[in-house]
């Protein structure tokens, strides 16, 4: 898996202070997407074991307390990303007590395959659906367009 950005301290992608990872790879091609540079699976840099460990350490760092981890992109549920995202989330749930997980995906919750559902079992808040330019509304919390749904799982 590749990733395009990692923010060890982030306050705009989910509730509270968070660590946020933007992965690379997205098939949805939404018109008006702000993250087109992340569409290619080869965009950005390789997601390494070192970065995975860094995320775990950042979540547990008490100097700046984090509410949890956010995964966005790109699409964390792109079939090519699912295995590595699942491994990361299992570590977060095992090693980072009390941290929640937020995720943005262009897929719909109702259309996920078996592997994608395994990931979602570890997610606390999922914002699903493609960005629809005609339904864009900057006043919406956590969503770019009105068709997207916030699922508190």
Residues that bind ligand SF4 (CB under 6 A): 26, 28-30, 33, 35, 38, 73-75, 106, 130-131
Closest CB to ligand SF4 among residues 66, 143: 143
Burial of 94 (0-12, 13-18, 19+ CB in 10 A): exposed
Minimal distance, residue 114 CB to ligand SF4, in Å = 21
Closest CB to ligand SF4 among residues 13, 38: 38
Which tokens in the block code for residue 93? 């749930």
Q: Which residue is nearest to ligand SF4 (CB)?
A: 106
Minimal distance, residue 62 CB to ligand SF4, in Å = 33
Closest CB to ligand SF4 among residues 99, 130: 130
What are the b/e assignments for 76-85, b being 16+ CB within 10 Å?
A: bbbeebbebb
Minimal distance, residue 33 CB to ligand SF4, in Å = 3
Please give the backbone phi and psi of residue 29, each rounded to the nearest 5 degrees, phi first: 50, 50
Which tokens in the block code for residue 72? 């966005």
């Amino acid at each position: 898996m590749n990733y395009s950005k990692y923010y060890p301290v982030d306050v705009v992608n989910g509730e509270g202070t968070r660590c946020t990872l933007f992965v690379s790879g997205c098939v949805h091609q939404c018109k008006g997407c702000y993250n087109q540079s992340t569409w290619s699976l080869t965009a950005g840099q390789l997601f390494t074991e070192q970065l995975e460990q860094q995320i775990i350490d950042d979540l547990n760092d008490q100097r700046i307390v984090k509410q949890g981890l956010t995964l966005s992109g790109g699409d964390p549920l792109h079939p090519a990303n699912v295995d590595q995202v699942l491994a990361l989330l299992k570590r977060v749930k095992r090693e980072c007590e009390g941290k929640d997980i937020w995720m943005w995906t262009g897929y719909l919750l109702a259309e996920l395959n078996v592997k994608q559902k395994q990931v979602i079992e570890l997610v606390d808040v999922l914002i699903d659906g493609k960005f629809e330019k005609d339904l864009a509304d900057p006043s919406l919390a956590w969503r770019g367009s009105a068709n997207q749904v916030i699922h508190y799982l």
